[in-house]
Chains A and B, each alone.
Chain A
Amino acid sequence: MRRAVTENGKIARDARESIQECVSEFISFITSEASDKCVKERRKTINDDDIIWSLGTLGFEEYVEPLKIYLNNYQEGDIKGSKSSDQNGKK
Chain B
Amino acid sequence: MCLLREMEDHYVHPKSKSNHGSLSGNGYEMKNPGHEVCDRDSSSESDRSHPEASAVSESSLDEHTSTQSDNDEDHGKDNQDTLKPVLSLGKEGSAFLAPKIDYNPSFAYIPYTADAYYGGVGVLTGYAPHTIVHPQQNDTTNSPVMLPAEPAEEEPIYVNAKQYHAILRRRQTRAKLEAQNKMVKGRKPYLHESRHRHAMKRARGSGGRFLNTKQQPQEQNQQYQASSGSMCSKTIGNSVISQSGPICTPSSDAAGASAASQDRGCLPSVGFRPTANFSEQGGGGSKLVVNGMQQRVSTIR
Contact = CB atoms under 8 A, between A and B. Distances in A.
Interface of A: 1-4, 11, 13, 16-17, 19-36, 38-40, 44-48, 50-52, 57-61, 63, 66-67, 70-71, 73-75, 77-88, 90-91
B85 A35 contact: yes
State the main secondary structure of chain A at its contact with B. Answer: helix
Interface size class of B (residues with CB under 8 A): 35 or more
Q: Which applies to chain B's interface (DSSP): helix, strand, loop or mixed?
A: helix
B89 A35 contact: yes
Interface of B: 24, 81-82, 85-86, 89-90, 92-94, 96-101, 103-107, 109-110, 112-114, 116-117, 130, 132, 135, 160, 162-163, 166-167, 169-170, 173, 203-209, 211, 213, 216-217, 220, 242, 245-246, 248-249, 251-253, 255-257, 259-260, 263, 282-284, 295, 299
Contacts, number: 207
A11 to B, nearest CB: 6
B114 A22 contact: yes
B263 A27 contact: no
A16 to B, nearest CB: 6
A13 B257 contact: yes
Given A16-B260, A20-B253, A36-B82, A31 B94 contact: yes
14 contacts: A1-B249, A3-B248, A28-B90, A32-B86, A32-B90, A38-B85, A52-B100, A75-B284, A78-B282, A78-B283, A78-B284, A81-B217, A86-B205, A88-B206
